């Protein structure tokens, strides 16, 4: 099973569950939904969401995704080029196999919750 991560607010996740699909503004603005492989998640959280206190991490089973998926070469973090996963259509919420609270640590850094890796 290939797991892909995506960070969003708990409120946005509740809205997506109610709708049955997740369609964030980036899908309209940039043409895709940003995502990360587990080893990329902490860079995404600590660089893009440094003060967020209401994040959840959704763990997506790639085999259950019905939208178009593609890996794109991205320079992120700055100075590092690597393949990052992107979804090019709304994400079906039944592809999410786990939702994990993703709190900011007392050191003002994010740390990978143990249940996000199992």
CATH of the domain at 61: 3.20.170.20
In a domain, 112, yes or no: no
pLDDT digits (tens, 9 = 90+) for 28-54: 999 999 999 999 999 999 999 998 999
Residue 24 included in any domain: yes
Q: Classify residue 100: in a domain, yes or no.
A: yes
- Look at residue 30 and tell me if it is in a domain: yes
Residue 113 within a domain: no
Average pLDDT of the chain to the nearest whole number? 94
pLDDT along the chain (118 residues), means of 10: 94 96 95 95 93 94 96 91 96 97 92 80
Structure-derived torsion over alpha carbons of residues 110, 27, 91, 86, reported in degrees to the nearest 10: -60
DSSP 10: H
pTM of the model: 0.92
Domain total in the chain: 1
Q: Could you give phi then psi for residue 104, rounded to 5 degrees?
A: -75, 130
Distance in angstroms (rounded) separating the CA atoms of residues 73 and 94? 27
Q: State which residues form the domain around 9.
A: 3-105
The distance in angstroms from the start CA to the end CA of the chain is 11
């Amino acid at each position: 099973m290939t797991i892909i991560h995506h960070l969003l607010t708990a409120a946005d996740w509740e809205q997506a569950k109610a709708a049955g699909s997740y369609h964030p503004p980036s899908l309209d603005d940039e043409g895709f939904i940003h995502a990360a492989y587990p080893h990329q998640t902490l860079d995404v959280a600590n660089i893009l969401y440094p003060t967020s206190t209401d994040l959840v991490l959704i763990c997506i089973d790639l085999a259950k995704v019905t939208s178009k998926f593609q890996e794109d070469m991205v320079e992120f973090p700055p100075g590092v080029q690597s393949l990052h996963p992107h979804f090019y259509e709304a994400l079906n919420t039944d592809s999410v196999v786990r939702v994990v609270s993703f709190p900011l640590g007392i050191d003002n850094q994010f740390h990978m919750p143990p249940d996000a890796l199992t």
